[in-house]
Amino acid sequence: MPLRLHYNLEKLSMGLVAAIIVAASIGGLVEIAPLFTIDETVAVPKDLRPLTPLELAGREIYIREGCYACHSQMVRSLADEIDRYGPYSLAGESAYDHPMLWGSKRTGPDLARLGGKYSDRWHVDHLTDPRAVVPASIMPAYPWLARPLETGNLGPELATLARLGVPYDPGMIANAAADALAQARPDSPGAEAARGRYGERFAARDFDGNPAELTEMDALVAYLQSLGTQTRAPYEVLAEGIE
Amino acid sequence: MRASLTMAERKTGLGLAAALALLGLVMAAAARQGAMAVHGAMALALGLVLVFRLGAALYDAPAAIPDRQGRYDDAPTRFGIVMTLVWAMIGMAAGVWVAALLYWPEATPLWPATSFGRLRPVHTTAIIFGFGGNALIATSFHVLQRTSRARLADALSPWVVLIGFNLFCAWAVTGYLMGSTQSKEYAEAEWYADLWLVAVWLVYFALYIRTLARRAEPHIYVANWYYMAFILVVAILHIVNNIALPVSLAGARSFPVWAGVQDAMIQWWYGHNAVAFFLTAGFLGMLYYFLPVRSGRPIWSYRLSILSFWGIVFFYIWVGSHHLHYTALPYWVQTLGMTFSVMLLVPSWASAGNAIATLNGAWHKVRDDATLRFMFVAAVFYGLSTFEGSFLAIRPVNSLSHYTDWTVGHVHSGTLGWVAMIIFGALYTLVPQLSGREAMAWPRAVEWHFWLAVTGTLVYVVSMWNAGITQGLMWRTYDDSGALSYSFLQSVQAMAPYYLLRAIGGAMFLTGAAICALNCRATMRAAPAGAGARDRPLTLQPAE
């Protein structure tokens, strides 16, 4: 009987089309749709802050150079990963990440808890010539990051992210380029205004040690130093688990 | 292209080419700089070349072959085969180069476009879309016409599909070199390229359905079910995964609307089903046609074909979440992904078993004919890598294998062992046939290619298994004091011999593919003048 049914279905091209669409849609609907409706799926931590414009510029360099091909940003809930990298990653941590950068391969180590682990100087030396600081490293060198950072597009980018639900207010969008510069020049007049917009919980300093210019290196190091510092939630969840 | 078109079609084609040139001009003018401007210039240049070629053809006589309806339209398939081989060279060379960089990292030139992170998506896109996609489109046109015994519904659409698809591939690959990427794995191309692909895909689907409607066979052959599943589901996956908000219509930069855990789930729903519906369903369609043709044996079991087809279409969609075990994705979704991954083994092995059982009674041909041997090895690797896939999807196994080179080895046992082998089997069957010859120009070279491909695949896969399991174990080993035994760097150092072996295995595979490309070129050039396929479609009888 089912064979007979199929025998007839094979004669109808649009019947096959409809059957394929139905059969191939069910799994996706069951697995994906609830992720948008169940509140607990993404409990956005109360203290989660969005990236500053300079850090966002760094994230785009991270994407441009394909860093995600070798570095994950997702600590799994396994003992050895927690011991090696730090508290396991929570869904809410990447709630503002368009797109997420969880990664799928660790040719190099996970970076989800990288922020604050190494000095700015180490990052600059390491990105410029990895084997100068880690002789056995197989990471490519990125000497071209010393070039000036293009900040003109940061405002529209923040505005786009705001439309997608990332909490950037109009003041942040209007001053994106100025705030990017201010983060790398903490003694400049604009620094106070940036603090007013983004709070105290971000690192402000001359990341690349070159006060003459705002470079791509400044942005990338600022981003790397922000990883895992946007919220304290994973540390609190882990501490509760241990108690 | 031009010879097979009527005057009216040449005029329509001229209009389309002019529209493409105009689109390129608008893109370049609006963007003014960056990747989008370069891509606009590429479209403009391509459009102008087509305008000149079609424009010149307007003054060519004779207009077209008189009994066109009495012949299959094979010119697009020939062009698709050439593009398949061109992309094979680009994609495999990029792969060998990035593999070598992992062994000799200091060899990276100080030029951004040659860096590992930018070339890795060039490798994956050139292979999956360029090599695999062109092979699928080219063979689907051939199989569709033969199994329907009808000519393609119109002469222009296949060219729109092939030229448009290759423009997408070229946009994607050059974009990554310039640093323009969405960073979503296997979907890195930027928003306008994604939209362009949707348009191309709609033309492809319409052409397929319209040609099926003209078929002279009552039943739609199983190969076409798979090609249709490939076309339909890839469209759904591509559209949902790539929904993005451009920062400006005059720039390449965009942000995906999905974020965090939802983005991760959608990404791997897409990513794994790109494996399912691009790299599996389409190629099973290829297998179901070329294996019986080459071996001269009918498919072993019709019932098994039905079971495996619907099993694959229904089960595969569920399994993407096995890429996210132990992550922040809800546990129940991970469990569903794992469960369906294990169940998927049933239809996968039904397909592989059906293919191998088809060869019963033709084993002497497998021994003597390297082309048929390519297809047999493809079926075996299909069975092996689907078993490995189900195994790696089991949560505790995945805790060891995930993030390691074991995954890379698994993917390549599928892509080198299964996808590339079935493509080579199909090409060696198709190229002589379309060139009006009995055999390839250099039959011995097929044998060389076969052994290079098999050895290269085994060297690659075995070295990556060792690499991955070593990494996984080193990362999780504790010493007696309860501290981790190895630093991450020690696990990197342990990889060196395996990375070297992998580059050697890849280079062998590349060498074989280069021999194939030269052999196909020689065969196509040695075609007798005016030669075409000797088989003919059923011509429709005019009504009384």
Q: Domain coordinates of chain B in residue numbers? A: 1-62, 75-525
Contacts of B246 in chain A (CB under 8 A): 160
Chain A interface includes B475 (CB < 8 A): yes
pLDDT in tens, B12-44: 999 999 999 999 999 999 998 899 999 999 999
Cβ–Cβ of B261/A101 closer than 8 Å? no
Mean pLDDT, chain B, rounded, equals 94
Give the Cα separation of B86 and B133 in Å (integer): 12
Residues with Cβ within 8 Å of B414's Cβ and at least 6 positions away in sequence, in order, are B275, B279, B381, B382, B385, B389
CATH of domain A53-242: 1.10.760.10
Give the Cα separation of B6 and B12 in Å (integer): 10
Tokens 């003041």 -> residue: A171
Residue B327 has its nearest CB partner, among A31, A74, A106, at A74
Give the Cα separation of A116 and A203 in Å (integer): 9
What topology does CATH give the domain B75-525?
A: Cytochrome C Oxidase; Chain A (1.20.210)
- The whole-number pLDDT of residue B35 equals 94
Give the Cα separation of A195 and A202 in Å (integer): 9
Cβ–Cβ of B183/A65 closer than 8 Å? no
Alpha carbon of B337: minimum distance to chain A alpha carbons (Å): 9
Whether the predicted pLDDT of B461 surpasses 70: yes
Residues with Cβ within 8 Å of A41's Cβ and at least 6 positions away in sequence, in order, are A34, A35, A91, B261, B262, B330
Whether the predicted pLDDT of B529 surpasses 90: no
Give the Cα separation of B517 and B506 in Å (integer): 16
State mean pLDDT over B401-406.
Answer: 96
Nearest chain A residue to B228 by CA distance is A17
Return the domain boundaries, chain A.
2-41, 53-242
DSSP B476-542: H-B-TTSSBSS-HHHHHHHTHHHHHHHHHHHHHHHHHHHHHHHHHHHHHHTSPTT---S--PPPPPP
Whether the predicted pLDDT of B542 surpasses 70: no
Eight-state DSSP code of residue B255 = E
Per-residue pLDDT of chain A (243 residues; tens, 9 = 90+): 778 889 899 999 999 999 999 999 998 888 888 887 766 667 889 999 999 999 999 999 999 999 999 999 999 999 999 999 999 999 999 999 999 999 999 999 999 999 999 999 999 999 999 999 999 999 999 999 999 999 999 999 999 999 999 999 999 999 999 999 999 998 888 899 999 999 888 899 999 999 999 999 999 999 999 999 999 999 998 888 776
Cβ–Cβ of A98/B258 closer than 8 Å? yes
Mutate to test the interface with A, among B317, B401, B404, B500 (most CBs of A within 10 A): B317
Pick the closest to residue A42 from A96, A103, A78 (CA basis): A96
Chain A interface includes B247 (CB < 8 A): yes
For chain B, give the percent of residues with pLDDT over 90.
89
Whether the predicted pLDDT of B539 surpasses 70: no
Eight-state DSSP code of residue A42 = G
Whether the predicted pLDDT of B544 surpasses 50: no
Contacts of A39 in chain B (CB under 8 A): none
B33 or B538, which is more confident?
B33
User: What's the per-residue H, E or C state across B30-99?
Assistant: HHCCHHHHHHHHHHHHHHHHHHHHHHHHCCCCCCCCCCHHHCCCCHHHHHHHHHHHHHHHHHHHHHHHHH
Cβ–Cβ of A20/B229 closer than 8 Å? yes
Q: Which pair of structure tokens corresponds to residue A232? A: 């304290």
State the burial class of residue B41 (Cβ atoms within 10 Å of its Cβ: 0-12, 13-18, 19+): middle
DSSP A138-151: -PPP-GGGGSBP--
Q: What ipTM goes with this model?
A: 0.94
What's the number of CA atoms in the CB half-sphere (13 Å) around residue B225? Answer: 26
Alpha-carbon B14 to chain mean position? 29
Give the Cα separation of A160 and A165 in Å (integer): 9
Nearest chain B residue to A78 by CA distance is B326
Residue pair B231/B205 in contact by the 8 Å Cβ criterion: yes
- The whole-number pLDDT of residue B358 equals 96
- The whole-number pLDDT of residue B65 equals 61
pLDDT in tens, B233-257: 999 999 999 999 999 999 999 999 9
Residue pair B495/B463 in contact by the 8 Å Cβ criterion: no
Alpha carbon of A120: minimum distance to chain B alpha carbons (Å): 20
Cβ–Cβ of A32/B269 closer than 8 Å? yes
Cβ–Cβ of B183/A26 closer than 8 Å? no
- The whole-number pLDDT of residue A3 equals 84
Cβ–Cβ of B110/A141 closer than 8 Å? yes
pLDDT in tens, B154-205: 999 999 999 999 999 999 999 999 999 999 999 999 999 999 999 999 999 9
Q: Which pair of structure tokens corresponds to residue A138? A: 């197989």
Let me know the angle formed at the C-alpha of B498 by B493 and B504, rounded to the nearest 5 degrees. 130
Give the Cα separation of A48 and A71 in Å (integer): 23
Phi, psi of B244 (to 5 degrees): -145, 155
Q: Bridge-partner residues for B478, per DSSP?
A: B484
Query: Hey, is A105 helix, strand or coil?
Result: strand
Whether the predicted pLDDT of B533 surpasses 80: no
Cβ–Cβ of B236/A66 closer than 8 Å? no
Q: Bridge-partner residues for B540, per DSSP?
A: none
Confidence at B63, pLDDT banded by 50, 70, 90: low
